[in-house]
Structure 1
Amino acid sequence: MARASYSRRVIQVVAQICRPSRAVNIDRDRQRRGEYLLDDYFVCNSAFPDTYFRRHFRMERHLFNKIMGAVCNHDSYFEQKPDAFGAMGLLPEQKINAALRMLAYGASANQVDEIARMRKSTILESLMRFCSAIESIYTTKYL
């Protein structure tokens, strides 16, 4: 009996050692990064003119806003919501920007992480949800 409980404890300790640990939480300063994105491209007196917006996003600003509105109405994932600690989450512009970067430039999630300061899993989730939203919204009209 004592032998079985000892071996059970050894197995539990080995399982604890072999269990992959969670990734370290990196402060990506998502609030400030979102404010920079808005100030650079989306407010009335933005830092960059419309020609820079077109070059960066490969579309006009009004088209981006139309797509963003349609995607946000279709999938609540893209709405800005508070997280578990009460801090506001990512802006819809940030999530859609990450998805468009991957699609337009063929960038990997790691490259977008360095620019957008979003976690890789969030970037990939945004991409998947963005593509499925675009497909379900515009398939009947354009295909």
Structure 2
Amino acid sequence: MEEEDDDEHRRQRVSHSRLVMQAVGQIFKPRRAANLDRKRERQGLLPEKKITVSLRMLAYGASADQVDKITMMGKSTVLESLMRFCSAIEALNNNEYLRKPMTIDLRRLLKKGEM
């Protein structure tokens, strides 16, 4: 009986000392400062700048390497903005200008060519 009481007492001391050590560890644990919300926006490149790059490449036949040095944009960003610009223009004009010519259109063009 006495041995069982000693074992129980020893377990309580061990669990108590373990809890004390965990609490001390939490107190002295170095903590990071909380992140402050400074209400800042991470702005990327302006859309106007991307459009200007695309127009410059199309108008002057400039390569992506030439344009990225001038505008301080990455080559991949320049190429991506060019592809997006071209696909947007194509989507806007697809129904009217990129359709197959109809017979009325062919007659009008042939008449214009004869004149």
TM-score, normalised with respect to structure 2: 0.48
Larger Cα-atom Rg: 2
Normalised by the length of structure 1, the TM-score is 0.39
Bigger relative CO (Cα 8 Å, ≥ 6 apart) = 1
